[in-house]
Every structure is written in C-alpha cells, then in structure tokens.
C-alpha cells in the first residue's frame, strides 16, 4: 500500500480504537496492538513530514512550552448554573415560565455535577480548532495545547453530519483512582502533592508546558453547547448527547432523562446513594429542561439560564479545631505532619486526625495549633485540612517549625535537592523507620509472614524483642516469651514462629521487594532478580549495570546502589543472608516468552478460592505475565475474585477486560 494511503488508514484505525476505548468503554484490541499501530504511524510520518496534520493521533503533544496563556472571548457566554436545593421550587419556576400548570410533566436531562474545570471546545468542519477555560464566563484562557494531550478528547470528530461550526461545553476532571495514584507516585518522588482532584485538573490544564499536562491523567465529559452553525440540529438534549457520542465526544454514562419533580428527586437520591462508588468526585446533580425549544422560551436571568438548576449534596466538609500537630516517620524516613483534631463527624465518619501532606503544604495553608480549620473527607480518601478559618485565629498563635531532628530517634533531618519531603537520616538506626520496615517486610506481597500485623510489630518493638528485620529470625527460641505477650498465647506464638520459618522459602524477587528499597516495587525487584540471578551480583552492581535490567531506570538504580552502599544496611542484610535454609539467594524462575501472556499486564483483586493470590501471581509470572498491584491503561486483564473493591471500578472506567476465577484458570491452563 502507498505510504499516503497507509497513513490515512492508520489514522482512521487509531481514531476508531480511541472511540471504542474512551467513549464506548469497549476496546476491540489490546494495548500492545494499539501501540504497534501508533508506532507504525509515527515511523511513516517521520519519513513523510509533509503529510503530518494537526489532527493526527501522533500530534497530541507537539507544542513548545508557552510563555503565557492567550485570552479567548467566548462566542456565547459560559454562564453559571444557579444552585437550588429545592427541586420543587425550580420546577415551579420552569412551569410558570412556560405558562404551564405546576403539575405539568416536564422532562429534564439529569446528570452528575462533576467537580472539575469547565471548558469550551471549538470544532470547525469537524476539526478541533481551540479549547478555552470558562474564566469569568465571557473571557477565558486558551489551553488548546494542554487539552490536546487528553486522550479522550477527539482531535477530529468521527462520522458524518457535523455542524460547520460547533462549540461544545464540557468538564475536564481527574478520576479518584488517577488522583490517588498520582499522589502516591509524587510522594515517592518527593514532589508536591495535588490537593484534590479538582485542583489537580485545574493545575494540569494551566501547565505552560503541555508535556507536563500529559503526565497528569485527565478526562473529559461533554454536556452542552455554545454557538452552533448547522443546517439541522436535534430538538432534545438527549438526542444531542447521542450525536456527541456518535461523533466521538465522551459523555457521562450516568446521565438520564427524568420526568417532573418525582423523577428529579428519585435520580438525586439514587445518585447520592451511589456517590462513593463512582470513579470521579461529584458534589451534586444538574437538571436541565430536555426540550431545546423550551429552553429558548425560558431564556436567561442575569448570568444564569432559567432552564437549569444545580442541586448539591450535603457537605463533606466540617469545621473543627487543631489540638496539636504530630510528626509521623514513615518507612523511607519521610516526615509527615498530621493535624490532631477535636473529633468531628464528616461524611458520617468521626474524624480525629487529618493529613497535612508535607511541611511545604502545611506552610502554604498556614495551619497552626489552635486554628479552626475546614476538614474534608471524600469516599475512602484520608481526611485532609482544606483551609484555615483565619477570622477565628488566636492572635498569639505561631507557625509550626519544621523539625531539624527526627522526633523518634533524634537523627538529623535531611532535605534532598529537588524533593519536597524531608527525611530522617537515621535509616536502620531509627526505631520508627525500623518498625515500618518490619511491617513492610512481613506484608503479604513481600515475605508474607502471616500473623505479624501492625499491632504485633509495635508490641515486639516495645518489649525489646526485635529492633530490625534481621531480629525476626532470632525469635526461634523465644516461644515462652512470645506466648506471655498480651493477647498472644502459646498457639499464636507457635503459629507466628512457623510463619517466620515459612518465609525462608521466598525467592530472591520477594526478598528484594521486602527490603523496602525506595523506587523498587514488585516489578522492578522481579526484573533485577531475573537479570542478575543472585543477591550478591545485585549488591555489587554499578548504577550503569543495574540499568541493564528491564524496568530499572536511573533513579531506581541510584536508590539500589545507595541502599547497598550504606554500612548499616549492609550489616542488617548481611545478617539476613547468613540465615540458613533460605531461598533468598536463588534467582527468580525463568519465565516463558513464547506464551500469549508474555509481556501482558494483569492485576488481581478480591478473594480467590481455587488458588491463593500468591499462587495465581506465581502461575501468571511463570507464563511471562507482569502482575501489577494497580490498574492502569496498560492493564490487559483484571482478575476479580470475591469482594473486588475499587480496582474493579477503575478497570471498568479504563475499559480493562475483567475476568472471573474461571477466566483466570483458562488463562493459566486450568
């Protein structure tokens, strides 16, 4: 096939698969197959740059960093929707405005009020021309280069029958899963955390460098129009949304058409009950008259349409007082300030502590002991301090000083250049770090020492029975002492010692992960184990040699080299390696590369009955699969057992194929 025709064919194919993935939530090909098509298109366009167009799938990021944002005047004002908690009153005003009886059965388009950033998308002849923020409603900022990085935003509309000019209104947002995942990674990198999903979306769109925006997992839902130039246009809102979907514009699947006050109230209550199960943050419901002709008759008042109303859910914020600020020390030495609060009920849960994220964030909000603060809790997210109520601040309050010494071991506090997080330099000599290190070492995904939970670890440290991970294997002759501990007993003590002995069977990859080296997760540990084959080779490898293993970048290589160069780490690891009858020196099992699962990313969630989670993981990895702990766009399968939790929601949101346990057994060969 001629290159020009192949380029066109590839673009059409990629646009089709983007539509299936982001709009229909029904992908037709694997990520691997999609990536292969994308790379082929990139290669052809590189050979024929004269054929590159702005709406090619390869051109989502191509702009240089901007010096600033240009101003855009909206063709039609982007008006705000009035918040009205009384649905019956809103319906009454609509009916009166249309000259109808109050009991008239008016249809309304109902949709979640997503907590994101309002944008305007301008398409001409089906091609994306410009994206702008709401701004003050009349004038916004040009964020076209940034918005083009959003995978769900079509650069060219699909299908036929597009208006000559179409201004689409929508909401850019960040899903809860993406927000949490981003903050986990930011914390590991020592970078600034996002405050909440809405601020994360707003800040991402206002990155002057579009490449930075692309690193933020943004999504888009379209929900209305501004100016439209077309020969024909739908008569109802839901018909307009059907056109959007056919053209490749993503719309919210939770939207419905309801009738009258009863329909509105029923939708409101159902969505409020399902609020915590949604993949994104919402703060209410929006009702709009469904008939577009009736909207024209109702018109506008001041800066808002008469035909729409936003009904918010009860607040998930509450005010309370900061009784104190504690500093917690994590496994990697990170010092995290936590506000100790006068107990307050937020979202049906009594909150006594709230994270302040890090000292830079605490200083930005200027949180002080004695302050009255607003606290927010959303879903399963850890409660956080939103802001200080400055009007109620005591004039004698003073800012909280960043510690110069670790509050646990007294070790020097260090701040690495380029990192926001401050850390205790005590490492293996810091009891707090050692407690967290033992908890991680014993965790299910690491050495899986059953029964050695958080409270027991704290008790063993308090009783002086252990001081680091190596001491666990010195408990062999301490049955009587363990049995005398609070809530233990002889049987529990025997089970604990048996579990510690069983952990000697773990392989090199599990052992590496259990050591808790920063930046070394399960995948990186497995890659190191497969590549080097022995713990000795890893300990002696240079940074350059470490990067020779797959999935090991320069940062991870630097962390590994630094960990094994530290004398105190060498001492503890050396003690572990001198333990007899262990398999920690053993190289990871050689995996197959000829199996269909080779290189495929799989995530396990929920309780499995045929195999244990670890057995399933081992079987999958033995066939060449990569078993990840989190769902992402690269995930090919989610194996869902009983009580799967939030990963199932994330998988459905991303269009990941979900298999039950029977599907798992079919994958691994029965």
- Read off φ and ψ for residue 604, nearest 5 degrees: -105, 140
Looking only at the bridges linking them, the beta strands covering 601-605 and 626-628 are parallel
Looking only at the bridges linking them, the beta strands covering 165-174 and 117-124 are antiparallel
Local structure of residue 217 (DSSP, 8 states): -
- Taking the CA of residue 500 as centre, how many other CA atoms within 13 Å lie in the half-sphere pointing to its CB? 24
| Token representation of residue 230 | 């077309």
Q: Is 617 a catalytic residue?
A: no
3-state secondary structure of 256: strand
- Which of 8, 113, 312, 439 is labelled catalytic? 113
Please answer whether residues 247 and 98 qualify as being in contact, where contact means their C-beta atoms are separated by less than 8 angstroms: no
Please answer whether residues 330 and 336 qualify as being in contact, where contact means their C-beta atoms are separated by less than 8 angstroms: yes
* 528 to 167, 548, 590: CA distances (angstroms): 51, 9, 12
3-state secondary structure of 69: coil
- Read off φ and ψ for residue 661, nearest 5 degrees: -65, -35
Question: C-alpha angle with apex 244: 300 to 13, nearest 5 degrees?
Answer: 155
d(CA 660, CA 655): 16
3-state secondary structure of 287: strand
Q: Select from 186, 170, 194, 178 the least CA-distant residue to 116.
A: 170
Please answer whether residues 279 and 175 qualify as being in contact, where contact means their C-beta atoms are separated by less than 8 angstroms: yes
Q: Select from 450, 581, 515, 80 the least CA-distant residue to 301.
A: 80
E-only strand ranges, 381-494: 384-388, 413-415, 422-424
> Annotated catalytic sites, by residue?
113
């Amino acid at each position: 096939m001629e290159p020009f025709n192949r380029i066109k064919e590839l673009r059409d194919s990629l646009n089709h698969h983007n539509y299936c993935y982001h709009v229909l939530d029904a992908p037709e090909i694997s990520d691997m197959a999609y990536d292969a098509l994308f790379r082929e298109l990139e290669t052809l366009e590189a050979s024929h740059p004269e054929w590159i167009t702005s709406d090619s799938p390869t051109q989502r990021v191509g702009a240089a960093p901007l010096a600033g944002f240009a101003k855009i005047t909206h063709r039609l004002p982007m008006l705000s929707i009035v918040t009205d908690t009384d649905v019956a009153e809103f319906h009454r005003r609509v009916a009166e405005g249309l000259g109808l009886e109050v009991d008239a059965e008016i249809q309304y388009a109902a949709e979640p009020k997503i907590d994101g950033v309002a944008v305007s998308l301008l398409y001409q002849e089906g091609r994306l021309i410009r994206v702008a923020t709401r701004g003050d409603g009349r004038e916004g900022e040009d964020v076209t280069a940034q918005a083009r990085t959003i995978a769900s935003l079509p650069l060219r509309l699909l299908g036929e029958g597009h208006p000559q000019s179409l201004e689409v209104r929508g909401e850019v947002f960040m899903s809860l899963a993406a927000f949490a995942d981003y903050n986990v990674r930011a914390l590991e990198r020592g970078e600034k955390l996002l405050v909440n999903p809405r601020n994360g979306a707003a800040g991402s769109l206002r990155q002057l460098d579009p490449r930075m925006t692309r690193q933020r997992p943004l999504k888009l839902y379209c929900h209305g129009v501004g100016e439209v130039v077309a020969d024909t246009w739908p008569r109802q809102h839901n018909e307009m949304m059907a056109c959007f979907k056919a053209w490749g514009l993503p719309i919210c699947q939770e939207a419905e058409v309801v009738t009258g006050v009863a329909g509105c109230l029923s939708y409101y209550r159902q969505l409020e009950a399902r609020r915590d199960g949604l993949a994104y943050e919402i703060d209410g419901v929006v009702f709009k008259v469904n008939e577009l002709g009736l909207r024209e008759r109702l018109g506008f008042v001041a800066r808002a349409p008469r035909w729409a109303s936003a009904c918010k859910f009860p607040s998930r914020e509450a005010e309370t007082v900061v009784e104190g600020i504690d500093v917690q020390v994590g496994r990697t030495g990170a010092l995290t300030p936590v506000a100790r609060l006068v107990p307050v009920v937020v979202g049906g849960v009594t909150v006594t502590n709230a994270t302040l994220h890090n000292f830079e964030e605490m200083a930005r909000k200027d949180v002080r002991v004695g302050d009255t603060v607003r606290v927010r809790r959303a879903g399963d997210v850890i409660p956080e301090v939103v802001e200080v109520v400055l009007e109620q601040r005591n004039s004698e309050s003073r800012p909280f000083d960043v510690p110069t010494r670790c509050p646990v071991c007294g070790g020097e506090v260090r701040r690495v250049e380029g990192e926001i997080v401050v850390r205790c330099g005590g490492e293996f000599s810091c009891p707090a770090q050692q407690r967290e290190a033992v908890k991680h070492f014993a965790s299910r995904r690491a050495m899986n020492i059953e029964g050695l939970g958080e409270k027991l670890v704290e008790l063993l440290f308090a009783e002086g029975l252990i001081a680091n991970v190596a001491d666990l294997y010195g408990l062999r002759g301490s049955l009587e002492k363990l049995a005398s501990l609070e809530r233990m007993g002889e049987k529990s003590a025997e089970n604990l010692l048996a579990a510690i002995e069983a952990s000697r069977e773990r392989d090199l990859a599990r052992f590496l992960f259990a050591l808790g080296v920063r930046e070394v997760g399960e995948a990186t540990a497995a890659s190191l184990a497969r590549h080097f084959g022995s713990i000795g080779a890893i300990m002696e490898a240079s940074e350059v040699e470490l990067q020779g293993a797959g999935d090991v970048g320069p940062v991870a290589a630097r962390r590994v080299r630094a960990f094994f160069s530290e004398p105190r780490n060498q001492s503890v690891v050396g003690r572990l390696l001198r333990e007899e009858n262990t398999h920690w020196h053993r190289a990871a099992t050689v995996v197959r590369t000829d199996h269909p699962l080779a290189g495929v990313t799989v995530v396990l969630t929920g309780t499995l009955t045929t195999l244990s989670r670890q057995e399933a993981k081992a079987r999958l990895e033995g066939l060449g699969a990569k078993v990840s702990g989190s769902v992402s766009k690269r995930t090919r399968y989610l194996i869902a057992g009983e009580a799967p939790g939030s990963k199932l929601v994330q998988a459905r949101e991303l269009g990941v194929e979900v298999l039950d346990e029977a599907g798992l057994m079919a994958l691994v060969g029965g």
